[in-house]
Structure 1
Amino acid sequence: MNIVVQLSRIIVGALFIFSGFVKLVDPIGSQYKFQEYFSESVLNMEFLIPYALPFAILLIVAEILLGVTILIGYKPKITVWSLLILTLIFLFLTWYSAYYNKVTDCGCFGDAIKLTPWETFYKNVILIALIILLVLKVSMVKPIFGGKIPKIITLISLASFLFIIQHVLTHLPIIDFRAYAVGKNIHEGMVFPEDGSIPPVHDFMLEDAQADLAPELLQKEKLMLIVIYNLDKSDVNGFSAIRETATKALEKGYTVYGVSASFTDDLLAVKEKHNFPFEFLFCDETTLKTMIRANPGVMILNKGTVTQKKNWVDVDKIKL
């Protein structure tokens, strides 16, 4: 029995650490997922949408930290019961999503691994079984280190996780699992897989008042896209840096466009107020959020291949 308990402990700990890590490197993605769950069409808890990011950070830190503490055996009773409660919440949400077809991707593994709602639900059922075993046999969950070492490891882990989140929120995800990551080609992302599923890039359009300019712009060797997905939610402190970067890019022979999902009149007013040296094109807000976790942010493309991505705080590091 002890072997089964320790094996369950390792599996649960590894899953929670992996699941937490892929979200730790991109907490904004988890924020968007919470906003989706809180929306009127899903849980109808729109009053919680402004708190989506704190919820996301709390979940990420709790998930990965519990994975660490179950492996090292720190506070085993608190840990296994916390794992059970958290997984029961996941179980309900994934069942709700699957049964009512509300959220097609629960985001349990971030953008790293995509599971259907039912696949995620069954994964959680197995996880619940393993955790119940740990609850029943918690006396067998012993610390792997003596003295204060487990506590020290837990505190160092917590500090490290919080530092990573702060860094990622200030800059960009440490690891980018999305179809618009540096090195990915948007043309190739639009190709339909052989199994007939939806391609990774399927809503990418750069529209002016007359047409979609994406096919033309994706042929250019020097293209700078300044993403401001929503003017009302953008950080205006970055507008001066964006203007300077765009000006330098134009001098270097780049084609520069702003891309947003905001209303044309609002974009024209902002362009005039901040003296932006570029025109704005329209793109779907969800697509823009997927392209870059910044508002505003800058993407550099060479014939459809993403070569650089920066949050506005780092635009001075862009190589032109």
Structure 2
Amino acid sequence: MMQLLTHVIRVFVAVTFIFSGFVKLVDPLGSAYKFEEYFGADVLNLEFLSPFALQFSILLILAEIMLGVMLLVGFKSKITVWSLFFISLLFLFLTWYSAYYDKVTDCGCFGDAITLTPWETFYKNVILIVLILVLLLRMYDIQPILSDSFAQRVSLISLLVFVGIVIYVLRYLPIIDFRAYAVGKSIPEGMLIPEDAEKPVYEDTWVYNVNGEDRTFTTEEKPWSIEGATFVDRKTRTLVEGYVPPIHDFTMERDGEDITDLLMAKEKLMLIVAYNLSMTSDKGMIKIKELADRAMESGYSVYCFSASTQEDYEKLKSEYKLDFDLLFCDETTLKTIIRSNPGVVTLNKGVITGKWSWRRAEKITFK
């Protein structure tokens, strides 16, 4: 009976790690952005690690998915299970920290495929730790499938395939897009809030100085009505998040004017998305220039979509003889829209019809 239970746990843990690793493997930049948040000054205060967020992300993703495969086929079971235990402890700490201190509200443990709250993620990791502890106690029941050599070959082939996927998606775009900006999605529809949507609930805590002493009050206590009380501070805590639309930080600003509605009505719109213009490559901008010229000849309205300043864009515009204007948007939103910098997005009345890395610019055709 215990042997059967061990096998069930083994398969469950293995599949969980393989799934979790795969949804991040197809979009490693998404995980890198999450690690940048964790390394930030207001979270773990490890900003010196931020430049290595992508490398750290890739290593952790490969470790996660490979440990899942190795557990499933029974390769190096002792090393595998102990490694799973320690990597789960790391995840447990990060998710506890996120939940307890309300930092990095979406840890990205399942990439963009499944969104969990910090506490849901923490409890998920607690369950995994318990199951892995069972596997540690029943290590002798974890035997290779068919043979040691078969388990070794499957593990090696899997590693080569996974590394190949990482190289491909970093060079081009994620092979599966779980985000709200995937091809076929409507941006205007993604911004809508249903009339019957759950409303957010907040709790205010007030700090007033009364008779020379700072005291904390609830809203119901109406501290502002206390004679002689002086306002010091107010803190707001979210009790219920409420409904958050899939797309909630999308704006298209030109010279300080929001022209989102105007552009979302266009049938032929091309956005050259570059969250940071200083990080674009010369080769990339040369290709983008050629693509933009072809697009405008085909009747497309073309804009650069960036979080950089107008001054930065004017330098780039002059250098590459660009014939289109700049639109401003939040950097995080731009990174979510497309993982390439620059990347190309085409839209028809707000519906995304195509997404490409700049490396594929010459392959884009227009009807």
For the criterion TM > 0.5, the same-fold answer is yes
1:137 is aligned to 138
Amino acid at match of 2:66: L
**Cα distance in 2 for residues equivalent to 1:21 and 1:145:** 25
Matches within 5 A, 1:185-224: 185-193=186-194, 194-195=197-198, 196-224=242-270
**1:122 and 2:123 aligned:** yes
Change (3 A) 1:75 1:265: same
Q: Which residue of 217, 227, 235 corresponds with 2:281?
A: 235
**Cα distance in 2 for residues equivalent to 1:286 and 1:60:** 22
Q: Deviations over 1:146-173 (max 9, x none)?
A: 1411111000000000000000000000
Give the TM-score normalised by structure 2.
0.86
Give the TM-score normalised by structure 1.
0.99
1:253 is aligned to 299
**Cα distance in 2 for residues equivalent to 1:126 and 1:147:** 29
Amino acid at match of 2:342: P
1:37 is aligned to 38
**Cα distance in 2 for residues equivalent to 1:16 and 1:235:** 36
Amino acid at match of 1:90: F
**1:318 and 2:364 aligned:** yes
Q: Deviations over 1:223-256 (max 9, x none)?
A: 0000111012222320000000000000001000
Q: Give the conservation status (yes or no) of the 8 Å contact 1:308–1:318.
A: no
**1:285 and 2:358 aligned:** no
Identical positions, percent: 57
2:85 is aligned to 84
Q: Deviations over 1:248-295 (max 9, x none)?
A: 000001000001101111111111111111111111100100000010
**Cα distance in 1 for residues equivalent to 2:304 and 2:190:** 22
1:51 is aligned to 52
Q: Deviations over 1:29-69 (max 9, x none)?
A: 01100101000010000000000000000011000000000
2:180 is aligned to 179
**Cα distance in 2 for residues equivalent to 1:203 and 1:299:** 17
Deviates more, 1:166-175 or 1:199-208: 199-208
SS of 1:148's equivalent in the other structure is helix
Q: Give the conservation status (yes or no) of the 8 Å contact 2:99–2:122.
A: yes
Indicate the RMSD between aligned Cα atoms, in angstroms.
0.9
Q: Give the conservation status (yes or no) of the 8 Å contact 1:224–1:257.
A: yes
**Cα distance in 2 for residues equivalent to 1:272 and 1:130:** 60
**Cα distance in 1 for residues equivalent to 2:365 and 2:24:** 29
RCO higher in 1 or 2 (8 Å CA, sep ≥ 6)?
1
Aligned positions, number: 320
Matches within 5 A, 1:139-178: 139-178=140-179
Q: Give the unaligned 5+ runs of structure 2.
A: 199-241
1:99 is aligned to 100
Q: Give the conservation status (yes or no) of the 8 Å contact 2:32–2:57.
A: yes
Q: Which residue of 296, 299, 314 corresponds with 1:268?
A: 314
**Cα distance in 1 for residues equivalent to 2:125 and 2:280:** 37
In the TM superposition, what is the alpha-carbon distance from 1:210 to its structure 2 partner? 4.2
Question: Runs of at least 4 residues of structure 1 off by over 6 A?
Answer: none
Q: Deviations over 1:92-146 (max 9, x none)?
A: 0000000000110000000000000000000000000000000111011011121
**Cα distance in 2 for residues equivalent to 1:103 and 1:201:** 18
**Cα distance in 2 for residues equivalent to 1:2 and 1:143:** 14
SS of 2:272's equivalent in the other structure is strand
Change (3 A) 1:47 1:290: same
In the TM superposition, what is the alpha-carbon distance from 1:318 to its structure 2 partner? 1.6
1:309 is aligned to 355
- Larger proportion of strand: 2
Q: Give the conservation status (yes or no) of the 8 Å contact 2:28–2:166.
A: yes
Q: Give the unaligned 5+ runs of structure 1.
A: none
In the TM superposition, what is the alpha-carbon distance from 1:78 to its structure 2 partner? 0.2
**Cα distance in 2 for residues equivalent to 1:162 and 1:100:** 35
Amino acid at match of 2:316: V
SS of 1:202's equivalent in the other structure is coil
Q: Give the conservation status (yes or no) of the 8 Å contact 2:75–2:148.
A: no
